Structure 1
Amino acid sequence: MTDADYGVSLSLRDRAFRDEVRAFLDSALTADTPTQTRTRGEKTRLERMRWWQTRLHEARLAAISWPTEFGGRSATPVQQLIFNAEMAAARAPEPINRSAINQLGPTIIQWGTDEQRAHYLPRILSAEDVWCQGFSEPDAGSDLASLKTRATIDGDHLVITGQKVWTSKAQYADRIYLLVRTDTRAEPRDGISYVLADLATPGIEVRPVRQITGASEFNEVFLDEARVPLSNVLGPLHGGWRVAKSTLGYERVGQSRTHRIERRLDILVGMAKQPNALTEKAFADEYVSDQMVRFAAQVEALRQIAAQATAAGVRGMSPGPEASLAKLLTSELDQAMANFGLDLSGPAGVLEAGSPGAAKNGNVAQSYLLMRAATFGAGTSEIQRNVIAERLLGLPRDP
């Protein structure tokens, strides 16, 4: 990649950082490493992700945007853009603790006590603790303020009872960060606390949820009088709504990072260059070439928007409403590209892995089904449009 590929001018320091990242990827991503071995099975995949995060951590590349004193590199927005682009170009896997690195870690840095930072942050970076998020409930998805999971104070502990759902990675995580209602008399947003809990705590049960893909990436989490130390509250007691808003902002920035969508574009380009279900002319077909140019333009625009949204997190600030714009565009583009992959594949695109003739070994069908959730994970498109309308455009709230 050249400077022009990043869309920004690189300083000597930026080029040195880029060269360091490239050298690391060249040495780490070899044909005989676990990260490049094509294996199936959840256990092997998790081992690869944990191994990869260990390599990133050893190279001080696991969380480059974190402040140096907490194990990061105080990277600039441009350096974060370089890192994302180089990871995408190398098709490097994601670390197992991606959500904790991108969401929980910055929240702990912003809101945690010195003791909480000293304890949790190194364990996030090393993947000694793998985390999941416990925000959504059966009747509290986008409207998190209506959550019903309750926590009563008993001495120096909280006693938590309730249910969470759509909890990604809970089946193999060690810990969970969750929202609970600690003051039932307060206004909905004023009686919530943000709690860090060990999933091995008695009274916590994880039940996988089977998805349309056949996999179980999501889970239900049941809490039945689970006792968690009061010292595990992150931020002020009853003041967890403001802490959660920080996490959600970081989450939307993380959702908008473009390495995954750039990979999808590369795959689509390869498919469109060949005779396909839409045309025998491949790129010479006007409709196919027009669609691919539109996708390429949208990915480039998204890269620029995502870089701006990332900048706040890099500076140690909560991302603003720009994160909602980046998340909205990412999820809808992700979904549109998955749909077009199905169009290019034709009937073979709907065949799952293991079926004779399945397009891309079933990955086209898998991607299409996964992307059904893109427009409501991390906040629905409707919620993002409301945030953009009210906080960016200054439009009045819905009555």
Structure 2
Amino acid sequence: MSSVEEFRTAFRDWLRADLTGEFARLRGRGGPGREHEAFDERRAWERHMAAAGWTCVGWPKEYGGRGATLEQQVAFHEEYALADAPARVGHIGEQLLGPTLIAFGTPGQRERFLPRIVAVEELWCQGYSEPEAGSDLGGVRTRAELDGEEWTVTGQKTWTSLAHRSDWCFVVARTEPGSTRHQGLSYLLVPLDQPGVEVRPITQLTGTCEFNEVFFDSARTPAANIVGTPGEGWKVAVATLGFERGVSTLGQQVGFRRELEAVIDLARRNGAAEDPLIRDRIARAWIGLEIIRGNALRMLDGVSAGAPGPEASVGKIFWATWHRELGELAMDVHGAEGMLAAGEPYDLDDFQRLFLFSRADTIYAGSNEIQRNIIAERVLGLPKEARP
């Protein structure tokens, strides 16, 4: 195994050599509020990465990864972000489902699904939230019944990122009639290209459609496509959420730093930096970014133990709130010009898109309110919130 610096240098050199030619046009494309940009081209780039062995680097070698250490994975995500490489299209399969199958899946499931995630042949989405069960997954109503050798799934999921581009969805469904809260849930792998599945994109404030409603009407999946024990899918679902808070957040922070630097540059150019209140907010944003990194590095202790613990909720609250406030700062620095779209019909600049999309940061992937409950109950040991 090479050292961290050798690994970092090897990946950096590969990016310099291969993020060129037709792929060079993809720099900076995609990401929150912009997932529609060059999606097919970004998938081609990611398959190019796969051919060179640069997808799923943290997975064990026996499952198609590089067996990279935690420190090497951090280097990978940082270098990818520093190169301004395009946003990944296979993130959910690589960072969420893959580690979940490695930890909880059967040999058959790993053999069937993991190679296709590594090769970026199949894309995944996450079927958790519902109209009546957003961050509180204990209210899940989507149900599944075992019908011979297949599960039939009926219900609705919402805010499903990139479902309209995905081949499969991992679905949390209630499989035990009469069960309540976190009991009786199961974790199912469901193909989307079949009768009984309808995907409806949701238009966001940014004018784009990255989130979706997904309707299941007796959709089917083989009985073998259940991860873990029937009725005990909650612990699998929670583990997936833990992997979501993993090392890729270090790369996310490189993007945050780039956004902050752009806001600072704008403030210098348009004179907003002369305002002492603006200068104070910029200073606080810089300090906050350093705190985000510190929280993330501390959280990695949990990753090294298998998955981040509830302390990951501290990091989620902090970066989500910080990023939302950065969007507000960007608009205040922008001034009155920020009220006007750059062109027809709804052409937003980077600062406007940052402001609008970051409103969702404190809601998706577990709202701030839910994260505070987790911290209170699982970290501080406070009494649990009363439930109806």
Residues 249-280 of structure 1: CA distance to partner in whole angstroms, max 9, x if unpaired?
A: 1223378442332222232232233224xx3x
Q: Hey, what does 1:36 align to over in structure 2?
A: 26
Counterparts of 1:38-187 in structure 2 under 5 Å? 45-187=38-180
Aligned AA for 1:368? Answer: F
TM normalised by structure 2 equals 0.90
Q: Could you tell me which residue of structure 2 aligns to residue 352 of structure 1?
A: 341
Which residue matches 1:326?
315
Measured after TM superposition, the shift of residue 72 of structure 1 is 2.0
Gaps of 5+ in 2: none
TM-score between both structures, scaled by the size of structure 1: 0.88
Residue matched to 2:240: 247
Partner residue, 1:17:
7
Report the CA distance shift for 1:43/1:392 in structure 2 as closer, same or farther (over 3 A): closer
CA distance in 1, matches of 2:316, 2:268: 29
1:316 is displaced (CA, Å) by 6.9
Paired residue secondary structure (1:83): helix
Over residues 107-151 of structure 1, what are the superposed CA-to-partner deviations in whole Å (9 max), with x where a residue is unaligned?
A: 111110011111111111211001111111111111111111111
Q: Are 1:299 and 2:286 an aligned pair? A: no
Q: 1:106 to 1:312 in 2, by over 3 A?
A: farther
Identity score, percent: 38
Q: Would the aligned equivalents of 1:354 and 1:362 in 2 still touch at CA under 8 Å? A: no
* Cα pair 1:174 1:200 within 8 Å, conserved: yes
Letter of the aligned partner of 1:317 in structure 2?
Answer: G
Paired residues of 1:339 and 1:368 also in contact (CA < 8 A): yes
Distance between the aligned counterparts of 1:390 and 1:207, measured in 2? 36
Residue 17 of structure 2, aligned match among 23, 27, 43? 27
Separation in structure 2 between the aligned mates of residue 305 and residue 38 of structure 1, nearest angstrom:
26
Do the aligned partners of residues 99 and 226 (structure 1) sit closer, same or farther apart at CA in structure 2, a change above 3 Å counting? Answer: same
Select the residue among 251, 254, 262 that pairs with 1:259: 254
For 2:71, the aligned partner's letter is V
Letter in 1 for 2:321: E
Q: What is the 5 A alignment of 1:201-220?
A: 201-220=194-213
Q: Which residue of 1 aligns with 2:361?
A: 374
Partner of 1:393 in structure 2?
Answer: 380
| Counterpart contact for 2:27–2:86, Cα < 8 Å | no
Q: How many residues align?
A: 381
Shift of 1:37: 6.5
| Aligned equivalent of 1:7 | none
Contact 1:249 1:319 in 2 (8 A): yes
2:96 and 2:240 in contact (8 A); partners too: yes
Root-mean-square deviation (CA, aligned residues, Å) is 2.5
- The correspondence for 2:329, drawn from 340, 345, 352, is 340
Residue 388 of structure 1 aligns with an amino acid whose one-letter code is: I
- 1:199-252 deviation per Cα after TM superposition (whole angstroms, max 9, x unaligned): 012211111112222211111111111121110111111111110000111223
Is residue 28–residue 84 contact of structure 2 (8 Å, CA) maintained in 1? no
Separation (CA, whole Å) in 2 of partners of 1:388 and 1:306: 16
